[in-house]
A and B are shown apart, each in its own frame.
Chain A
Amino acid sequence: MPALLAAILLLIAFPYLFTQPFLQRTMILVVMWSVLGLAWNFLGGYAGQVSFGHAIFFGLGAYTSTYLFIEYGVSPWLGMIAGAVVAVIVSAIIGWPSFRLAGHYFAIATIAAGEIFAIIFRNWKAVGGAVGIYLPIVRGDKLSNFQFHDSKIGYYYIILAMLGLAALTTYALERNRVGYYLKAIREDPDAARSLGINVTLYKMYAMALSAAFTAIVGAFYAQFVLYISPNTVFALNISIQMALVAILGGTGTLAGPIIGAAILIPMAEYTRVYLGGRAGGLHLVVYGLLIMIISVYQPGGLMAIYNQWRRKETAQKMQQAADAASAAREG
C-alpha cells in the first residue's frame, strides 16, 4: 500500500521533477498506452475476447472529436464524449454478431473489421481521405482548449486523469458482479451460460467499456499530435500494440497493462531515437520474443509471474515461521 501511494505521488509530481521535453513526452505516451492497454483489457483480459481491431475505436474517437471541432466548433471535451458514444454504438454493431465466434475466428474477424475501417476512411474525402486532417492551432494554453503549446504539462495531467479513471473502473470491475461474470465467461463460456449468465450481453458491456475508453484516448491523441490520418489512427499497429502491452504485462489484471506500457514505450522511444533507422524496430523484436516466452511459460504475463513469486515467497516465509516455531517448542 505505501509503495502504491509513493508511485501515485511520483506520477503526479513527475513533470516537475523531470522537465526535459523528451522525458515528458515519453511519459505522456507511457500513460496513454497504459490507458489503451487497460481499455483493451476490459474485453481481452476480463471477457477473454482477443481483439486485434481496437484501432477502430481509437480512430473513431479521434475523427469524431476532430470533425465536430472543425466543422461545428464543438469543444474537443464534448467531442471526446461524442467519440465515445460513436465507438460504443459501432462496437455493439460489430460485437453482436461476432461474439458467437470462438477465439481465433473472432480475432481474425477483428483484424478484418479494422482493415475495412482503415480503407473506408482512407477513401472518404469528406474527412480528408488518405491525407488526413490537420487540427487548427488554438493558442492560450487554456484547459478548455484541450491544446497546450508552451509546455506539455497540461497534456500529461489530462492523460493521467484518464489513467486514474480507467484504473478505478478496472478496480471496480474486479470487485463487481459484472467482473465476476466476465471472468466466468472468459474461463468457460458454456459453463457460465449454463449458470444463467447472459454471455452475449455481458460481452457487449465489456466491449462497450473497452470501446469507450479507447475512443476517449483517440480524441486525446488528436489534440496531442494535432494531425490525424487513417494510416496513423486506424493502423493495425495500434491494435497490435494495445494487445501487446496488455499481454506482456498480464491480461485480466489492473497493473498488467500499466507495467506492459511502462516497459514497451520507453524501449520503443529509446530504440527509435538512439538507434534510429532500421534498428528502430529492435524493440519489437525483443517484444515478440518476450510474448512468445510468456505465452509458453506464463500466459498470465509479468503480473502472473510476479504473483507466483509472491506466493512462493509467502509460502517460504510461512514454512520458515513454522520451522522456527516447532524448533522453539522442541528446544
Chain B
Amino acid sequence: MSPEVTLLVQSLVSGLLIGFVFSLLSVGLTLIFGVMDIVNFAHGEHLMLAMYLTFWMWFLWGIDPLLSLPVVAIALFILGVLTYKVLIKYVLDAPMLAQIFVTFGLMIFLRSLAQVLWSEDYRRIGDTWVSGRIEIAGIFIGLPQLVAAIGAVITTGLLYLFLKKTRTGWALEATAENKEVAGLMGIDAERMFALAWGLGLASVGVAGALLATFNPISPEVGAIFVLVTFVAVALGGFGSVPGAFVAGIIIGVVQVLGGFLWEPRFKTVLVYAIYLGVVFIRPQGLFGQR
C-alpha cells in the first residue's frame, strides 16, 4: 500500500478502536438517561475515578489493570448504586434545573477532590500485560488499544444481552419505557433506578480500567472524555443502547480521521459540530425515540 493509504487506514483503525471505548462510555450514560431522564454531568468524573482506582492498585500493589478490571467494575457499580440512593433519588421529581445542578455539583466536587488529593500531575501506568504493539500488513496497532476495544465490545455486548434476554433486563427496559405501568406489573422502580446507575457506572469502570492501560490519568481526564460521550449519546439517541454503540464508533472514527485529513487541533471542533448538527437537525438522534 502507498504511504498515504497506509496512513489513512491507520487512522481508520485507530478511530475504530477508540470508538469502541467511546461506545462503552456512552452506553453507560444513555442507560441512566433512558431509565430515568437524568443526564449524569459527572459521568466523566466517574471515569476519572475508575482510572485512578486502576492506577493506584497498580502503583501501590502492582496489580495489573486487567486483573483489577473486575474489581474496578464492581467498585463503580457500588458507587453508582450509592450515588443513586444518596443523591439522585431525591431529585427525581424535582425541576430539571435541580437535576442538572445536582450532577453538576457532583462533577465539581469529584474533580476538585481529585485535584486536592492527587494533584494535577499526569500519571501513567507503566508496563502492563498488554504493553506493546502489533503489526498487521503495515498497520501498527497498539496492544492496549486493541485489548481496550475488544474489552469494550465484549462488555457492551454483555450489557445488551442482559437487557434483551434476562428478566431483570426486561424489567429495566420496561421501567425506561413507562415507569408507572411497569410498577403496575410489579416492577420496583426504585430497584431499577439503582440498578441503572450501578450498571451505567460499572460500564464506566470497565472503560476506565481499559483506558488506564494507555491513557494518561489526571483530574481533568474526565472532562476530556465526557464531552465526546455526550455527543455520542445525542447522536445515537438519548436512551438507545444500540444507538450509543454505533454513535461511539462514528465519533471515534470521525475524530481521528478529521484530525488526519484536516487538522489535529480542530478534531474536537468537528466532534462538537456533530453534536450541534444532531440536536438541530435530528434531535432524536439516529435511534432515539424522543
Residues of A within 8 A of B (CB): 48, 50, 52, 97, 101-105, 107-109, 111-113, 115-116, 119-120, 122-123, 236, 240, 243-244, 247, 251, 277-279, 281-282, 284-285, 287-292, 294-296, 299
Indicate which residue in B111, B119, B265, B268 contacts A115 across the interface (CB closer than 8 Å): B268
B39/A278 in contact, CB under 8 A: no
A50 shortest CB reach to chain B, Å: 6
A111/B227 in contact, CB under 8 A: yes
B95/A299 in contact, CB under 8 A: yes
Distance in angstroms between the alpha carbons of A296 and B100 in the assembled complex: 11
Residues of chain B contacted by A112 (CB below 8 angstroms):
227, 231, 272, 275-276
Interface hits, B226-282 → A, CB 8 Å: 227, 230-231, 234, 265-266, 268-269, 272-273, 275-276, 279-280
Query: Shortest 8 CB-CB distances between A and B: which pairs?
Result: A288-B109, A291-B105, A288-B108, A284-B112, A299-B98, A295-B102, A292-B105, A112-B272
Residues of chain A contacted by B221 (CB below 8 angstroms):
none
Identify the stretch in B11-19, B86-94, B182-190 within 8 Å (CB) of chain A at 4 or more residues: B86-94
Q: Does B113 contact A (CB under 8 A)?
A: yes
Majority-rule SS of B interface residues: helix
Residues of B within 8 A of A (CB): 39, 87, 90-91, 94-102, 104-113, 115-117, 119-120, 223, 227, 230-231, 234, 265-266, 268-269, 272-273, 275-276, 279-280, 283
A50/B100 in contact, CB under 8 A: yes
Indicate which residue in A104, A107, A299 contacts B94 across the interface (CB closer than 8 Å): A299
Indicate which residue in B98, B109, B266 contacts A285 across the interface (CB closer than 8 Å): B109
Distance in angstroms between the alpha carbons of A287 and B109 in the assembled complex: 7
Distance in angstroms between the alpha carbons of A279 and B269 in the assembled complex: 33
19 contacts between A and B (CB under 8 A): A97-B280, A104-B39, A104-B99, A108-B39, A111-B227, A111-B230, A112-B231, A116-B273, A119-B268, A123-B265, A243-B104, A279-B116, A284-B108, A284-B111, A284-B112, A285-B112, A285-B116, A288-B108, A294-B105
A296/B112 in contact, CB under 8 A: no
Distance in angstroms between the alpha carbons of A284 and B119 in the assembled complex: 14
Residues of chain B contacted by A282 (CB below 8 angstroms):
112, 116
A288/B269 in contact, CB under 8 A: no
Indicate which residue in B95, B265, B275 contacts A109 across the interface (CB closer than 8 Å): B275
B40 shortest CB reach to chain A, Å: 10
**A288-B110, A296-B90 are contacts. A108–B101 as well, Cβ < 8 Å?**
no
**A101-B283, A105-B279 are contacts. A236–B223 as well, Cβ < 8 Å?**
yes
Residues of chain B contacted by A113 (CB below 8 angstroms):
272, 276
A287/B108 in contact, CB under 8 A: yes
Indicate which residue in A251, A277, A290, A292 contacts B97 across the interface (CB closer than 8 Å): A251
Residues of chain B contacted by A277 (CB below 8 angstroms):
119
Distance in angstroms between the alpha carbons of A109 and B108 in the assembled complex: 19
A184 shortest CB reach to chain B, Å: 14
B227/A115 in contact, CB under 8 A: yes
Indicate which residue in A50, A119, A296 contacts B102 across the interface (CB closer than 8 Å): A296
A302 shortest CB reach to chain B, Å: 13
Distance in angstroms between the alpha carbons of A170 and B97 in the assembled complex: 20
Distance in angstroms between the alpha carbons of A63 and B193 in the assembled complex: 46
A288/B283 in contact, CB under 8 A: no
B267 shortest CB reach to chain A, Å: 10
B276/A295 in contact, CB under 8 A: no
B266/A119 in contact, CB under 8 A: yes
Distance in angstroms between the alpha carbons of A289 and B87 in the assembled complex: 11
